[in-house]
Amino acid sequence: MSKNFNSKENHISVEKGFVVLNPLSMIPSVVRGIILANKDDKGFSILKHRLVPKHEILSEAEKINVIERNGGDPYMFPLIWVSDPVAKAIEASVGDLIKVTRDSPTGHKTIYYRFVVEE
C-alpha cells in the first residue's frame, strides 16, 4: 500500500511502513525514525546517535590476534557491508575487523567484532 501527500512545501510518501519526507530536497529523509542526512551535511554523525554503540577499526596486528584467538577464520564473525552507514562513517574497508563496544544496562561493556565485506 502506498500513499502520497503533496503540498507546495512537502512531499510525504508512506510505503510498506516506511515514511519518507522530502521537502524541496532540503530536509533529510526519515525512515522508521532514522534520519538519513544529505552526504554534504556535516552537522549529523550517525556515530553520535544514542542507539549506535562505539565502533572502531582494529589495527592489522590486533585483527590478526583476535582472529587467531577465535578460530582463525574472519568469516566466522558477524559480517558488515562496506556500504553500511557506520562502516562508511568510520571509513572501514573490505577486510577490516571492527570492534563494537556496547554498554549494558547493568553497567558492563560487551565487545563484539564484525568483519567488513563487499556488498
Domain count, the chain: 2
Say how far residue 43 (Cα) sits from the centre of its chain.
17
Q: Are 21 and 37 in contact (CB under 8 A)?
A: no
Please check whether residue 41 lies inside any domain of the structure: no
Domain CATH code at residue 81: 3.90.940.20
C-alpha cell at 33: 525514525
- Domain span at residue 110 reads 46-117
pTM over 0.75: no
Looking at the structure, tell me whether residues 62 and 6 fall in a common domain. Answer: no
Residue 49 pLDDT grade (very low, low, confident, very high; cuts 50, 70, 90): confident
Give the pLDDT confidence of 64-84 residue by residue, as tens digits.
Answer: 999 999 998 999 999 999 999
